[in-house]
């Protein structure tokens, strides 16, 4: 394959990719469908921001946010059914079970682990040790600015963690499992080795104090922007949206079978971070995965980083096998 | 050496009848397994079924029509006369039979009509079935850990040597922290609700209570129980429809 030159790099030499917004297919169907799938994303984002901004204190609670999150995911499952981006990404029963297994692990086992060694626990220990208080001046800022800062600080940290995973082998090993997925669906973001799921959840937000309502507003960016990374729905996202936010297109390219394409679009919500550091490529891909689209079993997903890590250690530090010359 | 396909087939090497070639009608023996009652247990992840072929349709023609299903990436198959055995490894999600890992199809020729019998094995079905006890176990583990943590916290509280004065200072600091921060003038102007001082025991807005609860584990156990029932019925129906459509393809 010849590939396509994007700046200093050539992408699409190993598997087909589509580069440039003008080449990406649009939503097909009548005017109502076109209207819905063009305006759904911004409408939902602004509606949710307005809801959390004005909701009375009795409603503005984490439990409401959990309810909205579940409802949104069910709605997305419906949209995947009605308007799939690719038929080859159609959710199957088996994929749903495996995806939900990882979602279940995140909500249960990983939460227990986080309560012992998560970043919030570590931050609190550091604060206690150095008798530090949280940086409280943020609480005087306007709510929406606080919300943006919370989301941005987390996404900025995630960007570098994610980029580190693609550039440093010990971090790549746990992350590589996530790159073996061969299709994008609503819960695919949760699929990966638990070590990676733990690492990607680390953040430094615990050092800062924010008004509680600002956390709920910040969660909106995760839900109404970040969720679209892994989803099988075709949207006509507005130009300003795809300039600022990570879209399915961006993230599908990141999951492409083409190696050079995977080294782009690291941000979870704010793709302008990629633009800032020169790692953004506007485009999409249908053929996803590693090793030509080999799908890992759950057992391999659990063990792969350790078995491959052990192999790498043995290669590096093990005794070299001495060839005995034939006499 | 036994081929990988042969090794993966779900029954002994003479699955279709006696070694002398005589016809067998005992499908339970053919598909069941060595232990009595095993069939009832392995029904959890074994899908069995049969499908009548069109009148006059030969085994060759039927297997030719089904052949594309066994030419997918990661699938190997072997055919001997009226029997086809297959096994899959790392099959992609796009494989229409990806839920199954191995199995066999056999065409039984009758006087009036021929019948395709199939016996398919799905580790995904077994996995989903086992997720129910797994998440119930996680729920129990969460409860046990909560109980383990509680006495430790209580012990730490009772053995605290803080003086009354320092306790008072700490309480004052805590009260100061709990006091709501006034809204920024911009938010006041835009009409955002003023934050309230949280009442004791009430859910705090914003930052989620990070203390692990057993509820999600129970919810996921229920989800997987439901998904198992759906999958056991749906996948059996889908594969039958798939075979039916392939066999009827012109």
Contact partners, residue A279, CB within 8 Å, separation at least 6: A163, A263, A264, A265, A266
Q: How far is CA A22 from CA A213, A231, A241, in A?
A: 39, 21, 15
Structure tokens at A24: 């990406």
Would you say domain B4-123 falls under CATH 2.20.25? Answer: no
CA angle A169, A173, A176 (to 5 degrees): 115
The 3-state secondary structure of chain A, one letter per residue: CCCEEECCEEECCCCCCEECHHHCCCCCCCHHHHHHHHHHHHHHHHHHHHHHHHCCCCCCCHHHHHHHHHHHHHHHHHHHHHCCCCHHHCCCHHHHHHHHHHHHHHHCHHHHHHHHHCHHHHHHHHHHHCCCCCECHHHHCCHHHHHHHHHHHHHHHHHHHHHHHCCCHHHHHHHHHHHHCCCCCCCHHHCCCHHHHHHHCCCCHHHECCCHHHHHHHHHHHHHCHHHHCCCCCCCCCHHHHHHECCHHHHHHHCECCHHHHCCCCCCCECHHHHHHCCCCCEECCCECCCCCCCCCHHHHHHHHHHHHHHHHHHHHCCCCCCCCCC
For a pLDDT cut of 70, what percent of chain B falls above it? 68
β-sheet bridge partners, residue A56: none
pLDDT of the residue at B129: 97
Q: Which of A73, A4, A62 is nearest to A281 (CA)?
A: A4
Cβ pair A215:B207 closer than 8 A: yes
| Residue A72: Cβ-neighbour burial (10 angstroms; 0-12, 13-18, 19+) | middle
pLDDT of the residue at A162: 94
Q: Which of B93, B216, B230 would best serve as a mutation to test chain A binding (most A beta carbons within 10 A)?
A: B93
Contact partners, residue A209, CB within 8 Å, separation at least 6: A133, A134, A135, A136, A138, A139
Question: What residues of chain A lie within 8 A of the CB of B181, using their CB?
Answer: 139-140, 211
Cβ pair B206:A142 closer than 8 A: no
- Does residue B164 contact residue B146 with C-beta atoms inside 8 Å? no
For residues B162 and B167, give the distance between their C-alpha atoms in angstroms, rounded to a whole number: 6
Split at pLDDT 50, 70, 90, the class of B223 is very high
For residues B15 and B21, give the distance between their C-alpha atoms in angstroms, rounded to a whole number: 11
A146 or A203, greater pLDDT = A146
- The residue-averaged pLDDT of B110-115 equals 85
Residue A71 has pLDDT above 50, yes or no: yes
Asked which of A132-146, A266-280, B214-228 is least confident by mean pLDDT, the reply is: A132-146
The partner residue sitting opposite A115, judged by closest CB among B92, B212, B216, is: B212
- Does residue A247 contact residue A271 with C-beta atoms inside 8 Å? yes
Other beta carbons within 10 Å of B91: 22
Q: Which of A84, A211, A255 would best serve as a mutation to test chain B binding (most B beta carbons within 10 A)?
A: A211
Cβ pair B231:A93 closer than 8 A: yes
Angle between helices B215-248 and A93-107 (to 10 degrees): 170
Question: What residues of chain B lie within 8 A of the CB of A112, using their CB?
Answer: 141-142, 145, 212
A115 or B120, greater pLDDT = B120
Residue B170 has pLDDT above 60, yes or no: no
Model pLDDT for residues A16-52, shown as the tens digit of each residue? 999 999 999 999 989 999 999 999 999 999 999 999 9
pLDDT of the residue at B200: 58
- Does residue B104 contact residue B117 with C-beta atoms inside 8 Å? no
Residue A251 has pLDDT above 90, yes or no: yes
Residue A297 has pLDDT above 80, yes or no: yes
Cβ pair A183:B93 closer than 8 A: yes
pLDDT of the residue at A110: 87
Q: What is the DSSP-derived secondary structure letter of residue B205?
A: S
The partner residue sitting opposite B138, judged by closest CB among A62, A63, A108, is: A108
- A–B CB contacts, 8 A cutoff, strictly below: 143
Q: How far is CA B32 from CA B12, B16, B28, B40, B88, in A?
A: 10, 12, 5, 9, 22
Cβ pair B184:A140 closer than 8 A: yes
Question: What residues of chain A lie within 8 A of the CB of B230, using their CB?
Answer: 93
Q: Which of B45, B186, B192 would best serve as a mutation to test chain A binding (most A beta carbons within 10 A)?
A: B192
Split at pLDDT 50, 70, 90, the class of A125 is confident
Split at pLDDT 50, 70, 90, the class of B1 is very low
The pLDDT mean for chain A works out to 90
**pTM for the complete prediction?**
0.85
Cβ pair A104:B216 closer than 8 A: yes
The partner residue sitting opposite B99, judged by closest CB among A94, A142, A216, is: A94
For a pLDDT cut of 70, what percent of chain A falls above it? 94
Question: What residues of chain A lie within 8 A of the CB of B216, using their CB?
Answer: 104, 107-108, 111
Q: Which of A255, A272, A281, A282 is nearest to A155 (CA)?
A: A272
Cβ pair A57:B193 closer than 8 A: yes
Q: How many residues does chain A have?
A: 327
The partner residue sitting opposite A212, judged by closest CB among B90, B207, B211, is: B207
Residue B168 has pLDDT above 90, yes or no: no
Q: How far is CA A187 from CA A265, A303, B117, in A?
A: 19, 21, 36
Split at pLDDT 50, 70, 90, the class of B19 is very low
Question: What residues of chain A lie within 8 A of the CB of B231, using their CB?
Answer: 93-94, 97
pLDDT of the residue at B176: 54
Domain boundaries defined on chain B? 4-123
Residue A86 has pLDDT above 90, yes or no: yes
Question: What residues of chain B lie within 8 A of the CB of A211, using their CB?
Answer: 181, 195, 206
pLDDT of the residue at B169: 57
pLDDT of the residue at A20: 94
Residue B18 has pLDDT above 50, yes or no: no
DSSP B68-92: GGGSSTTEEEEEETTEEEEEESS--
- The residue-averaged pLDDT of A170-197 equals 93
Question: What residues of chain B lie within 8 A of the CB of A98, using their CB?
Answer: 124, 127
A132 or A271, greater pLDDT = A271
Cβ pair A104:B235 closer than 8 A: no
Alpha-carbon distance B24 to nearest alpha carbon in chain A (angstroms):
35
Split at pLDDT 50, 70, 90, the class of B138 is very high
Residue B34 has pLDDT above 80, yes or no: no
Prediction ipTM score: 0.87
């Amino acid at each position: 394959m010849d590939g396509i030159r994007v700046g200093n790099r050539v992408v699409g030499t190993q598997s087909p990719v589509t580069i440039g917004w003008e080449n990406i297919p649009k939503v097909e169907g009548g005017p109502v469908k076109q209207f819905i799938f063009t305006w759904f994303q911004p409408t939902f984002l602004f509606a949710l921001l307005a809801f959390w901004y004005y909701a009375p204190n009795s409603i503005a609670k984490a439990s409401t946010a959990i309810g909205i999150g579940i409802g949104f995911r069910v709605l997305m499952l419906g949209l995947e059914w009605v308007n799939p981006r690719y038929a080859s990404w159609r959710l199957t029963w088996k994929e749903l079970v495996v995806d939900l297994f990882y979602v279940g692990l995140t909500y249960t086992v990983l939460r227990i682990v986080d309560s012992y060694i998560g970043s919030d626990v570590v931050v609190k220990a550091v604060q206690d040790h150095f008798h530090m208080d949280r940086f409280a001046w943020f609480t005087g800022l306007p709510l929406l600015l606080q919300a943006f800062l919370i989301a941005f600080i987390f996404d900025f940290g995630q960007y570098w963690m994610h980029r580190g995973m693609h550039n440093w082998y010990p971090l790549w090993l746990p992350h590589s499992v996530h790159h073996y997925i061969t299709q994008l669906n609503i819960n695919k973001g949760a699929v990966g080795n638990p070590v990676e799921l733990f690492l990607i959840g680390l953040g430094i937000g615990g050092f800062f104090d924010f008004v509680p309502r600002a956390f709920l507003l910040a969660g909106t960016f995760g839900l109404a922007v970040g969720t679209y990374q892994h989803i099988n729905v075709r949207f006509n996202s507005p130009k300003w949206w795809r300039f600022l936010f990570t879209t399915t297109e961006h993230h599908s390219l990141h999951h492409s079978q083409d190696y050079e394409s995977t080294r782009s679009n690291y941000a979870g919500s704010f793709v302008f971070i990629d633009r800032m550091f020169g790692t953004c490529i506007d485009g999409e891909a249908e053929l996803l995965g590693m090793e030509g689209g080999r799908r890992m079993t759950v057992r391999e997903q659990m063990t792969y980083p350790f078995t491959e890590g052990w192999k790498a250690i043995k290669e590096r530090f093990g005794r070299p096998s001495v060839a005995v010359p034939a006499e | 050496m036994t081929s990988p396909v042969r090794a993966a087939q779900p029954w002994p090497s003479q699955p279709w009848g006696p070694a002398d070639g005589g016809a067998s009608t005992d499908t339970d023996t053919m598909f069941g397994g060595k232990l009595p009652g095993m069939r009832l247990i392995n029904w959890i992840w074994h899908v069995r079924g049969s499908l009548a072929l069109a009148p006059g349709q030969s085994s060759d023609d039927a297997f030719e029509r089904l052949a594309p299903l066994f030419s997918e990436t990661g699938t190997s198959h072997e055919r001997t006369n009226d029997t086809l055995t297959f096994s899959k490894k790392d099959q992609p999600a796009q494989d229409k039979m990806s839920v199954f890992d191995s199995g066999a199809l056999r065409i039984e020729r009758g006087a009036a009509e021929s019948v395709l019998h199939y016996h398919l094995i799905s580790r995904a079905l077994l996995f989903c079935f086992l997720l129910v006890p797994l998440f119930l176990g996680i729920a129990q583990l969460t409860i046990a850990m909560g109980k383990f943590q509680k006495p430790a916290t209580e012990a730490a509280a009772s053995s605290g040597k803080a003086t009354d004065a320092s306790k008072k200072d700490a309480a004052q600091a805590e009260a100061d922290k709990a006091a709501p921060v006034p809204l920024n003038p911009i938010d006041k102007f835009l009409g955002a609700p003023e934050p309230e001082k949280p009442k004791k025991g009430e859910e705090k807005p914003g930052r989620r209570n990070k203390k692990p609860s057993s509820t999600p584990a129970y919810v996921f156990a229920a989800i997987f129980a439901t998904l198992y029932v759906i999958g056991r019925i749906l996948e059996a129906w889908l594969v039958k429809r798939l075979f039916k459509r392939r066999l009827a393809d012109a």
